[in-house]
Amino acid sequence: MKRSSNFRVLKQKGIGISMLTCYDYPSAKIQDACGIDIIFVGDSLATNVLGYDHQNDLRLEEMRHHVRAVARGISRAYLLADLPYLSSSDLPTILSAAEQLRLDGVDGVKVEGFRPEVFEALAKTEVEPWAHLGFTPQLIKEPAMQAKDSASAEQLVKECQALEAAGAVGIILELIPESVAGRVAKTLEIPTIGIGAGSSCDGQVQVWHDLIGLETHVYRHAVRLCDAHKKQTSAVEAYKRKVVKKEEF
C-alpha cells in the first residue's frame, strides 16, 4: 500500500493535513514529535539555510545531505523532498535523482510545473510523485497570485486533473484564489495542500523559517507563530555581554 494513501483517508474524513518544510535533524525531531503529517525538505533550503540567492542554485548533493539529516530525526512522519531544479531537465536525470533521494529516506518527491510524462514515469517507481502548481518558484520569478481569471483557473483545474490521472499522489497549490483551490480540492481524490490558497485545501504547508520567525522578511502568505530571530538575537547579545564583562554563567 502507498504510504500516501493515509492522506486520502484524512481528506475523506475532512481532517486537515499538516505539512512543514524542514532542513535539519533537530527541527525534524520537533516536527515529528508534534505530529506533523508531512515533513518536507523544500528547495527553499537553498535560500533559507545555505545562503544562495535563488532556490534553483541548489545541487542534488546538497539536498541529499539535508534529506539524510532530516530522515534521522523522523520516526513516523511522511518524508517529502523537492526535486532540485538542476536535476529536473530530462527524464533519466529526474528518475536517477528520485532514486538517490529514495535511498536517502524520502517517501515522495515534489516536481514543480505541468509535466504529466514525469508523473507517469515516477508513478512506476518506488518514489511517490507530488505535484506543485499555481505559483511555482522554480519556474516563475516573482511571487504573484496565479489563476486569477476564469480561463487560467479553468486551465489550472484541468492540469490538476491530468496530473492526478498521470499518477500524482498529492498536489501543492501555491498562491491561487481560495475559490479555485476549493474547486480543485472538490474535483480531485488526491489531497491538495495549500500555501496562500485559502482554507478550502485539504491541508496546509508553511515554510519552517517563516513559521518560527527565523527570517526577518515576512511574505504575505507566511504564517508566523513565533519570533525566533528576536529570541536568538537577545540570547547571543546576552552571551556576548557576559563574556565581555567576564561574568559567571
Residues marked as catalytic: 174
Contact predicate 121/109, CB 8 Å: no
The helix (H) or strand (E) run that includes residue 94 is helix 91-104
Q: Work out how close the CB of 3 gets to ligand KIV at its nearest, in angstroms, rounded to a whole number.
A: 19
CA distance 207 to 19: 9
Judged by beta carbon, residue 172 or residue 212, the one nearer ligand KIV is 172
Cα 186 to chain centroid, rounded: 22
Judged by beta carbon, residue 207 or residue 214, the one nearer ligand KIV is 207
Q: Work out how close the CB of 195 gets to ligand KIV at its nearest, in angstroms, rounded to a whole number.
A: 5
Q: Work out how close the CB of 111 gets to ligand KIV at its nearest, in angstroms, rounded to a whole number.
A: 11
- Whether the CA torsion 59, 64, 70, 76 is positive or negative: it is positive
Q: Which residues bind ligand KIV (CB under 6 A)?
A: 21, 42-44, 82, 172, 195, 205, 207
Residue closest to ligand KIV, measured at CB: 42
The grid coordinates listed for 8 are 486520502
> Which residues lie below 8 Å from residue 173, measured CB to CB, with a gap of 6+?
133, 134, 160, 181, 184, 192, 193, 194, 195, 197, 201
CA distance 130 to 144: 22
CA distance 36 to 142: 29
Q: Work out how close the CB of 6 gets to ligand KIV at its nearest, in angstroms, rounded to a whole number.
A: 20
Judged by beta carbon, residue 131 or residue 157, the one nearer ligand KIV is 131
Judged by beta carbon, residue 42 or residue 203, the one nearer ligand KIV is 42
